A and B are shown apart, each in its own frame.
Chain A
């Protein structure tokens, strides 16, 4: 357990742990450590900077009002590639951070077959073998990895332009760059929804880093079992028998 990545990881983790602080109370589990949260928000900041500076270039007749935010069209154009570089670097680190828990397993294939019940709300609990990430999160993760590679290749082509790469290469790159951006834009709506109002309690895992025990056994039973040693389904049944807990102030 001392690959270069992990050594770097421990170092970075130590550095960020000095800045940030995870307070985990009784009845809560630490889900994302400071390093992960730091990367997540850096990715988010650069994603939206790149997205909004790109909007005005993508569809000026609808989104030209984004341009003044970045100091006008020329500056938005000049900064957009650097925002993209920032996004790629921080997402690259996050990808290394999450490569192991994001590996596709047989449980994820079963989860996908169960997708309709989960989305339609018929199935209130995640399948018992859902580990740290479920298949939906893994699909988004791998989509962003592929999308970022497409962004980098086509983005560098667009950055240096037709003088370096030829007219047709550049012209095709526009299309691929846009398609990649729009797939990610589609995904970000689902991501934000699921992490805020769509699944209350999730947002705190990226702010304070902690989730409630109930949240963990409901949405990531196998992870809950690994961390606590208790069976998630039994925990749900025990809680149900002991009666629903008294209302707490809403978390979101």
Chain B
């Protein structure tokens, strides 16, 4: 989507009326909308993701749930989390949430990464890992509030959902969106998806009896480029530990903006200090200091009579 704007015609010779295409792309930022209220847990998105990204088969795990495996893997970026929730009236509710990279506006992985160019954020909001620059330190794992980046011990690189940046750059929707049979997954500009999500949440509140329904787009990380419509937006933890208030550890800010430049400069002062000491005070020599052939004679007030000069 982002490359469309560069090819937008701005002037056209001898053309009457408005230039075609002007104002069509209102918003550069893309967004995936996941409406958890219409998800049926078919896992078509999981399959489509593995298919499109051509990833090796990841063994599934049975843990008394329909969930394919406990959490996403380096070769399994898209996982439906199944949660059985007992409501206050005792009835059961099945909460299904598509777990993948949230493509945060302020990505903690990118903030933590020490490798030049290993994590990039495109103008359309997609956060992408560039494995050729990755050094495999796994700092991004500690930066991510959603436990998304996964380390592959064989390649010593970290992988995650790309929001199908390859497809999106060609004007296609991500593979998971394409596969979804119920339309619970939607893809478009951030503005459109937010508006769509809000109207769906309003519908849920006013016509379906979900008074707490709302949109998940946490402000603590500047919003995300994957947003959820939840039956109960006041309790996102119900949906497989979706953090209510995702945070990037404060230590990263201290580390990058205080510890690195300030302490780095201070330790260089050690070098400056000893050089300064050498040219001002000079070295300490064993006493009594031996005379050197090139040195001038000793000061006259002590040596003038003895040396006879």
A197 beta carbon closer than 8 Å to chain B: yes
Give which listed residue, A124, A171, A239, contacts B249 with CB less than 8 A: A171
B287 beta carbon closer than 8 Å to chain A: yes
Segment at the interface with A among B3-11, B46-54, B251-259: B251-259
Q: Is the CB of A175 within 8 A of B270?
A: no
Give which listed residue, B114, B141, B267, B285, contacts A162 with CB less than 8 A: B141
Residues of B within 8 A of A178 (CB): 255, 259-260, 263
A4 beta carbon closer than 8 Å to chain B: no
Q: Is the CB of B252 within 8 A of A199?
A: no
Give which listed residue, A57, A212, A214, A219, contacts B137 with CB less than 8 A: A57
CB of B221, distance to nearest CB on chain A (Å): 14
A119 beta carbon closer than 8 Å to chain B: yes
A222 beta carbon closer than 8 Å to chain B: no
Interface membership of chain B positions 119-149, coded 1 if the CB is closer than 8 angstroms to chain A and 0 otherwise: 0000000000000011111110111110000
In the complex, which residues 47-104 of chain A have their Cβ closer than 8 Å to any Cβ of chain B?
Answer: 57-61, 64, 73-74, 76-78
Complex formed: what's the CA distance from A58 to B134 in Å? 14
Residues of B within 8 A of A161 (CB): 138, 141-142, 151
A236 beta carbon closer than 8 Å to chain B: yes
Complex formed: what's the CA distance from A190 to B289 in Å? 23
Q: Is the CB of B290 within 8 A of A59?
A: no
Q: Is the CB of B281 within 8 A of A171?
A: no
In the complex, which residues 283-304 of chain B have their Cβ closer than 8 Å to any Cβ of chain A?
Answer: 283-293
Best-buried of B263, B278, B286 by chain A (most CB within 10 Å): B286
Q: Is the CB of B264 within 8 A of A162?
A: no
Known: A57-B137, A74-B134. Contact between A247 and B291, CB under 8 A? yes
Known: A198-B278, A247-B292. Contact between A189 and B270, CB under 8 A? yes
Q: Is the CB of A124 within 8 A of B284?
A: yes
Segment at the interface with B among A6-14, A33-41, A179-187: A179-187
B116 beta carbon closer than 8 Å to chain A: yes
B19 beta carbon closer than 8 Å to chain A: no
Instruction: Give how many A-B residue pairs fall within 8 Å (CB-CB).
Output: 159
Q: Is the CB of A78 within 8 A of B136?
A: yes
Q: Is the CB of A120 within 8 A of B270?
A: no
Size class of the A contact interface (CB-based, 8 Å): 35 or more
Size class of the B contact interface (CB-based, 8 Å): 35 or more
Q: Is the CB of B267 within 8 A of A182?
A: yes
B282 beta carbon closer than 8 Å to chain A: yes
B156 beta carbon closer than 8 Å to chain A: yes
Residues of A within 8 A of B289 (CB): 244
CB of A48, distance to nearest CB on chain B (Å): 15
B277 beta carbon closer than 8 Å to chain A: yes
Q: Is the CB of B267 within 8 A of A175?
A: no
In the complex, residue of chain A having the shortest beta-carbon distance to the beta carbon of B118: A73
Give which listed residue, A179, A240, A247, A248, contacts B263 with CB less than 8 A: A179
Known: A57-B135, A174-B255, A178-B260. Contact between A239 and B288, CB under 8 A? yes
Q: Is the CB of B290 within 8 A of A193?
A: no
Q: Is the CB of B270 within 8 A of A73?
A: no
Complex formed: what's the CA distance from A175 to B259 in Å? 7
Q: Is the CB of A171 within 8 A of B286?
A: no
Complex formed: what's the CA distance from A171 to B134 in Å? 19
Known: A61-B116, A167-B249, A198-B274. Contact between A76 and B135, CB under 8 A? yes
Complex formed: what's the CA distance from A250 to B270 in Å? 26
In the complex, residue of chain B having the shortest beta-carbon distance to the beta carbon of A196: B283
Interface membership of chain B positions 140-166, coded 1 if the CB is closer than 8 angstroms to chain A and 0 otherwise: 011111000001000011000000000
Residues of A within 8 A of B144 (CB): 167
Complex formed: what's the CA distance from A175 to B258 in Å? 9
Q: Is the CB of A74 within 8 A of B263?
A: no
Q: Is the CB of B141 within 8 A of A163?
A: yes
In the complex, which residues 207-252 of chain A have their Cβ closer than 8 Å to any Cβ of chain B?
Answer: 212, 214-215, 217-219, 236, 239-240, 244-248, 250
Complex formed: what's the CA distance from A120 to B276 in Å? 11
Residues of B within 8 A of A170 (CB): 139, 141-142
Residues of B within 8 A of A199 (CB): 283-285
Known: A245-B290, A247-B292. Contact between A193 and B136, CB under 8 A? no
Best-buried of B144, B259, B266 by chain A (most CB within 10 Å): B259
Q: Is the CB of A120 within 8 A of B287?
A: no
Residues of B within 8 A of A192 (CB): 274
Name B residues whose Cβ lies closer than 8 Å to a Cβ of A: 112, 114-116, 133-139, 141-145, 151, 156-157, 249-252, 254-255, 259-260, 263-264, 266-267, 269-271, 273-274, 277-278, 281-293
Known: A57-B135, A182-B267, A214-B286. 10 other contacts (CB 8 A): A57-B114, A73-B133, A77-B137, A161-B151, A174-B255, A198-B284, A200-B283, A215-B286, A218-B287, A247-B290
Name A residues whose Cβ lies closer than 8 Å to a Cβ of B: 57-61, 64, 73-74, 76-78, 119-121, 124-125, 158, 161-163, 167-168, 170-172, 174-175, 178-179, 182-183, 185-190, 192-194, 197-201, 212, 214-215, 217-219, 236, 239-240, 244-248, 250
A-B pairs, 5 with minimum CB distance: A171-B249, A73-B135, A193-B274, A162-B142, A189-B270
